A and B are shown apart, each in its own frame.
Chain A
Amino acid sequence: MKIIFRLVLAAALVGLGVWMWFVLFPSPEKVIRKRLVGLARTVSFSTNEGNLTRLAGAQNLGFFFSTNVEVNIDVPGHERHVFVGRGEIIQAALAARSAVAGLTVKFPDINITVAPDKQSAVADLTVEARVSGQQDLIVQEMKFTLQKTDGQWLVTHIETVRTLS
């Protein structure tokens, strides 16, 4: 009985150790996924937010992108938009916050491919957005390229993916 107890205890300790290892040293995929979920949360804003909160939200968005980021939005039926640099993204976020009452963004599917050197990664994801007061759900497949800079995964390039060509 004593041996069984010791074996169970040893197994529990090994399990705890493995769990701690994954918590303390998460894989790049896990870190990137968490970061992208955070990005979706930062892009979103609600109708009851004050001006200062909205301004802070737009400024916080900058921390997710590299200084020379390029965002290329090409959706059929709409004008093509290209944003270059962190500043333009913050400006666009501020413009969106003043143009619409609220926005909820989610990334329900995220597929991450990390490069063998673990310094860059590509995330193919679905963007699901809902503008307050509008019934239609906006969905778009997008490709995010990320680079590890000073220990942080920063988005360097975003482009729309044509699901149906």
Chain B
Amino acid sequence: MPRLPNWLRIALVGRNPKVTLVRAAVLGVLCIVAYKSALLHIRVEGISMLPTYQDGSAHFVNRLAYLRHEPKRGDVVGIRLAGPHVMYMKRIIGLPGETIAFVNGRVLINGEVLDEPYEKYNCDWNLPPVKLAADEYYVVGDNRTMPPEYHTKGVASRDRILGKFLL
């Protein structure tokens, strides 16, 4: 077997192969831990978040996003169903304690119109006010072109919010 040139050997296995092996193992473990605990890889299915997120696009959910602070209005979050493998991708529009209503397609927060620059399509929803409890958030998709009964939206308890979507 031909001996590798020194520069190639260093590039491949480093000056000390044992140290390189330990480094690679540590890096591998860190990647697995980060992937399992901090980031969730997801693929978008459906049109409810158009035009912000396209059907079929791939993204990551940061599970550590809300360790230091609570979810904010405008955040796109993952809402778990029975577990983390399937989740709803929705935008938070209502925060705990607020009252949310839809009038002629506009969102009213405690009676005030919410500015939503991410909503590009026309919406004509009229939905009665909903008062949120201390641990509840109102979530909805950006695409509200369909009748409201065909759009998955509503009140999500804090424990259902898995994390924040990374763009």
Interface, chain A (partner B; CB < 8 A):
76-77, 108-111, 124-126, 128, 136-137, 139-142, 161-165
B76 at the interface (CB under 8 A from A): no
Assembly CA distance A124 to B160 (angstroms): 14
* Tally of A-B Cβ pairs under 8 angstroms: 55
B8 at the interface (CB under 8 A from A): no
Size of chain B's interface in residues, with CB distance under 8 A?
21
Interface residues of B in 136-167 (CB under 8 A from A): 139, 147, 149-150, 152-156, 160
Closest 9 CB pairs of A and B: A109-B83, A164-B154, A108-B85, A77-B149, A141-B81, A109-B82, A126-B82, A126-B81, A137-B45
B86 at the interface (CB under 8 A from A): yes
Neighbouring A residues of B152 by C-beta, 8 Å? 76, 164
- The residue on B at minimum CB distance from A135 is B55
Neighbouring A residues of B81 by C-beta, 8 Å? 109, 126, 139-141, 163
- The residue on A at minimum CB distance from B139 is A164
In the complex where A164-B79, A164-B139 touch, is A126 in contact with B86 (Cβ < 8 A)?
yes
Interface residues of B in 71-93 (CB under 8 A from A): 79, 81-86, 88, 90
| Complex contact B85–A137 (CB within 8 A) | no
Q: How far is the CB of B165 from chain A (nearest CB, A)?
A: 17
- The residue on A at minimum CB distance from B47 is A136
| Complex contact A109–B79 (CB within 8 A) | no
Which of A109, A140, A141 contacts B85, CB < 8 Å? A109
